């Protein structure tokens, strides 16, 4: 049927085989969308209540229903409705994978018992949670990285409904050989494709997370993730985001031999010294991710040579899955092209504070966003300093939204009092300490 239809329609016929003459027409469900639970992925449960006792009563009722009926989906639907029906603070939160885990955690919440996966609202902390959302950049993409959230949340399908190419890559065909899988992974390194897919995946994750009702104070991204952060902050629509991602990717691809990037297990001073000692003028620092990881970029042959130099200096390196030397002077032509081609796009200032990679500070009202994004393309990303500044400005809870735990692993060296969560479409992984952020 035509793609313009709001719901899917399918015809089923027995074609008279075996003497059966049966035909029917099926349409998509028109009632409220029911999320599909994938037992391989953790599910987040948050229990609201004016007091902890109120939340324990909710947990008790859910436990009784689960014990009597064994219907996990029905219990989750009831808990979701309860969550949406009140604005009371979250008293308990946990993530589970199996029915048994859900039962155990509901019992622990109902009985106020200790459980390593059960998180409680602090009753004595005088420090208010200040939530910062992070979006990773190109290099962490995965084949089919958004299909989990689209399958479990079909109501978010509108994000890609008119993006046929994105949709085809969101649901890649089944592969049976190592060669086919390798080719899919290689295709995903294409800058003009990877950035749009990453934008779609992260926006789907952001939309799913937003429904939790968390009060987000700050947004930031790493490299391309900064553009997604602007979209999450209300600067542009998803359609504009995809268009910007496409143009940005094409501009990067037009650099010819775009170069390569490699991550070095060392600090910025040590890497700068190594570059200076070995006369590597074509290589420059592209990312300062943490006190112990720096990314350099440059021509492919010189990056290969520098990896050998780093190895001789007992420094580990890891080549990134990118097709160009982003955030280096090799991107100057791409930066100019980007500024020219997106000059007429409707991009406004965000309503939530969004931090810039280039200067590690928020977008002020007098900042030209398009000019800033063009400059960002050819300038180093000082992620470590940006996070330090966010912490100084009050951020104490970091949530990463993206295809995996890419940024949250880099946070601990650059923050002193922050908890971090890695959310992956919509898998929730608790890293170190997690406190309710609602």
Q: What is the pLDDT of residues 297-329, one digit of tens each?
A: 999 999 999 999 999 999 999 998 777 888 998
- 3-state class percentages of the chain: helix first, strand second, coil last, to nearest 5: 40, 20, 40
Mean pLDDT of 98-109: 92
Could you tell me the two tokens for 83? 């969550």
Q: Is the pLDDT of residue 366 over 90?
A: yes
Cβ–Cβ contacts within 10 Å for residue 320, how many? 20
pLDDT tens-digit profile of 278-300? 988 899 999 998 888 899 999 99
Helix (H) or strand (E) holding 431: strand 427-431
Is 206 within 8 Å of 232 (Cβ atoms)? yes
**Cα-based angle 122, 125, 126 (whole degrees, multiple of 5):** 145
Could you tell me the two tokens for 241? 């985001």
d(CA 208, CA 149): 8
Q: Is the pLDDT of residue 54 over 80?
A: yes
d(CA 427, CA 370): 33
Of 192, 173, 196, 198, the C-alpha closest to 183 is 173
**Cα-based angle 204, 163, 37 (whole degrees, multiple of 5):** 35
Own/partner contacts of 370-374, CB < 8 Å, gap of 24 or more, are 370/339, 370/342, 370/343, 370/345, 371/339, 373/226, 373/227, 373/244, 373/248, 373/338, 373/342, 374/335, 374/336, 374/338, 374/339
Strand partners, 220: 134
**Cα-based angle 256, 258, 262 (whole degrees, multiple of 5):** 165
* 3-class DSSP state of 413: helix
pLDDT tens-digit profile of 193-225? 778 888 888 888 888 788 766 789 999 999 999
Of 207, 176, 226, the C-alpha closest to 372 is 226
This prediction's pTM: 0.73
pLDDT tens-digit profile of 393-402? 988 888 888 7
Q: Is the pLDDT of residue 108 over 90?
A: yes
Cβ–Cβ contacts within 10 Å for residue 366, how many? 6
d(CA 305, CA 303): 5
pLDDT tens-digit profile of 237-293? 988 999 999 999 888 877 656 688 999 999 999 999 999 999 888 999 999 988 888
**Cα-based angle 282, 195, 266 (whole degrees, multiple of 5):** 45
Q: Is the pLDDT of residue 152 over 50?
A: yes
Helix ranges (DSSP H) in 233-296 = 238-253, 268-277
pLDDT tens-digit profile of 131-144? 899 998 876 667 66
Q: Rounded to the nearest 5°, which phi and psi values hold at 341?
A: -80, -20
Q: Is the pLDDT of residue 86 over 90?
A: no
Could you tell me the two tokens for 379? 């300038």
Look at 59-63, 75-79, 166-170, 433-437 and tell me which has the smallest mean pLDDT. Answer: 433-437
Residue 403 CA to its chain's centroid (Å): 5
Is 377 within 8 Å of 326 (Cβ atoms)? yes
Is 288 within 8 Å of 268 (Cβ atoms)? yes
Is 48 within 8 Å of 90 (Cβ atoms)? yes
CA-to-CA separations, 422 to 96, 178, 205, 402, 418, in angstroms, rounded = 15, 29, 11, 8, 13
Band of the pLDDT at 431, cuts 50, 70, 90? Answer: very low
């Amino acid at each position: 049927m035509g793609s313009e239809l709001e719901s899917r329609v399918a015809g089923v016929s027995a074609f008279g085989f075996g003497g059966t003459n049966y035909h029917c027409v099926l349409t998509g469900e028109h009632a409220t969308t029911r999320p599909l639970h994938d037992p391989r992925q953790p599910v987040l449960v948050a229990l609201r209540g004016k007091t902890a006792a109120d939340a324990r009563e909710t947990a008790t009722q859910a436990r009784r229903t689960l014990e009597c009926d064994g219907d996990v989906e029905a219990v989750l639907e009831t808990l979701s409705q309860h969550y949406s029906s009140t604005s009371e603070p979250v008293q308990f939160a946990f993530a589970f994978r199996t029915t048994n885990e859900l039962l155990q955690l509901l019992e622990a919440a109902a009985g106020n018992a200790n459980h390593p996966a059960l998180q409680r609202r602090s009753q004595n902390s005088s420090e208010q949670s200040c939530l910062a959302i992070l979006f990773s950049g190109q290099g962490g993409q995965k084949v089919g990285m958004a299909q989990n959230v689209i399958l479990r949340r079909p109501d978010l399908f509108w994000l890609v409904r008119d993006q046929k190419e994105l949709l085809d890559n969101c649901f890649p065909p089944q592969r049976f050989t190592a060669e086919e899988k390798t080719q899919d992974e290689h295709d995903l390194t294409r800058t003009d494709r990877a950035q749009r897919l990453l934008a779609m995946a992260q926006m789907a994750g952001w939309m799913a997370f937003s429904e939790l009702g968390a009060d987000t104070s700050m947004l930031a991204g790493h490299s391309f993730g900064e553009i997604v952060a602007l979209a999450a902050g209300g600067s542009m629509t998803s359609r504009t985001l995809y268009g910007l991602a496409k143009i940005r990717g094409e501009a990067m691809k037009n650099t010819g031999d775009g170069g390569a990037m490699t991550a070095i297990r060392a600090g910025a001073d040590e890497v700068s010294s190594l570059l200076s000692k070995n006369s590597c003028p074509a290589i420059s620092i592209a990312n300062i991710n943490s006190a112990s990881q720096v990314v350099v970029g440059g021509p492919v042959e010189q990056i290969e040579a520098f990896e050998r130099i780093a190895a001789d200096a007992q420094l580990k390196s890891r080549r990134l899955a990118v097709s160009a030397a982003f955030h280096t002077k090799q991107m100057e032509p791409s930066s100019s092209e980007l500024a020219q081609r997106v000059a007429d796009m409707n991009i406004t200032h965000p309503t939530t504070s969004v931090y810039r990679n280039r200067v590690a500070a928020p977008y002020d009202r007098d900042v030209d966003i398009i000019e800033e994004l063009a400059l960002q393309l050819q300038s180093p990303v000082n992620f470590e300093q940006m996070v330090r500044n966010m912490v100084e400005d009050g951020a104490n809870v970091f949530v990463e939204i993206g295809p995996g735990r890419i940024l949250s692993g880099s946070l601990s060296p650059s923050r002193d009092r922050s908890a971090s969560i890695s959310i992956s479409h919509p898998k929730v992984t608790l890293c170190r300490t997690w406190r309710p952020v609602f």
